[in-house]
Amino acid sequence: MLMSGFASFVGLLFLAMLVLAAVALVMAALARPDAYVAADKKTKNFWLILLGIAVLVNLIGIPGLGLMLQIAGLIATIVFFVDVRPALKQVTGGGGRRGGSSSDGPYGPYNGGR
């Protein structure tokens, strides 16, 4: 019973790794190619290939060396989410709110005390 619970937990971890890699791949595909260069990151093709391999390895689940490749893909996915994606958002101006101006504060527009 303990082993079946552990197996289902590990299965959920692998599923989460697959979903994260797939979401990162879609986000990488939707970003403009010039944004990668402007953010001083690797090229768009580099990230698409790297994240595509991560998704493929998670889908296939190669025994033996596959776990190591899955962990490498997870690291690439985390690097994309933590480093590349925020840099791309900063370069493209994709903030949290849509339609706000640069003078907007956390509680609305800042008008200099007028």
* Per-residue model confidence as pLDDT tens for the chain (114 residues): 566 766 778 788 888 999 999 999 999 999 999 999 898 888 999 999 999 999 999 888 766 777 888 889 999 999 999 999 999 998 888 755 555 555 666 666 666 655
Under DSSP, the state recorded for 112 is T
Q: Look at residue 104 in the predicted model and tell me its pLDDT.
A: 62
- What pLDDT sits at residue 65? 73
Between CA 16 and CA 70 the distance in angstroms is: 12
Can you count the helices (H) and strands (E) in the chain? 5, 2
Confidence (pLDDT) at 44? 92
Q: Is the pTM of this model over 0.75?
A: no
Coil vs helix vs strand at 108: strand
